[in-house]
Amino acid sequence: MKRNIAVVAGGDSSEIVVSMKSAQGICSFLDREKYVFYIVIVKRNEWRVILPGGGEADIDRNDFGFREEGIVKRFDFAYITIHGTPGEDGLLQGYFELIGMPYSSCNPLVSALTFNKFACNTYLRGFGICVAESIRLRKGESRTDEEIAARLGLPVFVKPNDGGSSFGVTKVKTQEGLQPAIAKAFAEGKEVIVERCITGVELTCGCYKTREKAVVFPLTEVVTDNEFFDFDAKYNGQSDEITPARIPAEYAEKLQQTTSKIYDILGAKGIIRIDYILPDRGEPVLLEINTVPGMTNASFIPQQVRAAGLDIKDVMTDIIDNELIKL
């Protein structure tokens, strides 16, 4: 009997446009012989499912069920593909825990931790992971331009501390640009992180683990003529993404080992993707951890799956069946 899979998209942030693209990607990857899948749109005051035959139905928030042609249906599994809140910060994961719904990503604690860049980097620094120095600002707090520049130097990256993707991110080269960049970042989140700029090769590495296997994908090297890997570089083709990355094998192996180590430190679940900078000298520097990575056909994870010689359909089945087999 086929299992009913909810591909949960939407969200309450600017990243909804990316989420919808990822939902379409996941639907194209799933095994149609094993699963019946529906796209479910979750926004703050609007939970609805898109029906395969056309039309929509409301989701019952008590049990995440819905009616199709007068018949009450239930989902067996939720594949979360909301980038940003509530799908990446632990809120939706907590809801699924409460109603007993198996889901694809990390648990509420890990999701909340990794969503907060400053907290996550501070935590991982205690395990010997190299991270960039940064300053966190909450609304109502302020630092002078001179203080920021003296501590972190210039340029710096200013970005929402509690957001993903590249909305609200600015590379700031002068002191005069700091306060406008901070205001821009606050428009996307409740906290802002100002981070020392590390120059080098930008790399990203995906990983997932089940009870039976641990898979670390080949690294992707990101090359762009933009100031940094911004929204246009990510989603509008203004970058070259090279998989496997053109770095020495020993560095690639070390970053794969670091990715696996971080996965275990966090107690992660499902597919995660970790972004790094490899400086000309010194240790690789962790940028951030994505527990709900983009999943369009052109996204990093599908690229890395292909480079590893794997079938994305089999990877999706691994993620889903690893949770369903517990039932």
- Predicted pLDDT of residue 127: 98
- Predicted pLDDT of residue 111: 98
Please name the residue that has the structure tokens 């640009």: 177
Average pLDDT, the chain: 92
- Predicted pLDDT of residue 325: 82
For residue 237, pLDDT beyond 70: no
* Torsion angle in degrees (nearest 10) through CA of 45, 50, 51, 56: 40
For residue 45, pLDDT beyond 90: no
Tokens of 279: 């400086």
Residue 173 contacts residue 155 (beta carbons within 8 Å): yes
Residue 177 DSSP one-character state: G
Tokens of 306: 């292909």
For residue 12, pLDDT beyond 80: yes
For residue 236, pLDDT beyond 60: no
Confidence of residue 256 (pLDDT cuts 50, 70, 90): very high
Q: What percent of the chain has pLDDT over 90?
A: 83
Give 6's contacts (C-beta < 8 A, 6+ positions apart): 37, 38, 40, 49, 64, 75, 77, 78, 79
Confidence of residue 156 (pLDDT cuts 50, 70, 90): very high
- What is the rounded distance in angstroms from the CA atom of residue 188 to the CA atom of residue 203? 25
- Predicted pLDDT of residue 229: 47
Q: What percent of the chain has pLDDT over 70?
A: 94
Please say whether the dihedral angle defined by the alpha carbons of residues 62, 67, 73 and 75, taken in this order, is positive or negative: negative
For residue 282, pLDDT beyond 60: yes
- Predicted pLDDT of residue 297: 85
Confidence of residue 233 (pLDDT cuts 50, 70, 90): very low
- Predicted pLDDT of residue 269: 98
- Predicted pLDDT of residue 46: 93
Q: Give the pLDDT mean for 16-26.
A: 94
pLDDT, one tens digit per residue, over 75-130 is 999 999 999 899 999 999 999 999 999 999 999 999 999 999 999 999 999 999 99
Q: Give the pLDDT mean for 146-151.
A: 96
Confidence of residue 164 (pLDDT cuts 50, 70, 90): low
For residue 234, pLDDT beyond 60: no
For residue 323, pLDDT beyond 90: yes
- Predicted pLDDT of residue 227: 58
Q: Give the pLDDT mean for 306-326.
A: 95
Q: What is the 3-state secondary structure (H, E, C) of 90-141?
A: CHHHHHHHHHCCCECCCCHHHHHHHHCHHHHHHHHHCCCCCECCEEEEECCC
Domains (range + CATH), the chain: 3-104 (3.40.50.20), 112-130+198-308 (3.30.470.20), 134-196 (3.30.1490.20)
Please name the residue that has the structure tokens 């042609």: 69
- Predicted pLDDT of residue 230: 47
Tokens of 272: 């995660």
pLDDT, one tens digit per residue, over 296-314 is 988 999 999 999 999 999 9
pLDDT, one tens digit per residue, over 196-232 is 999 999 999 999 999 999 999 999 999 976 555 444 5
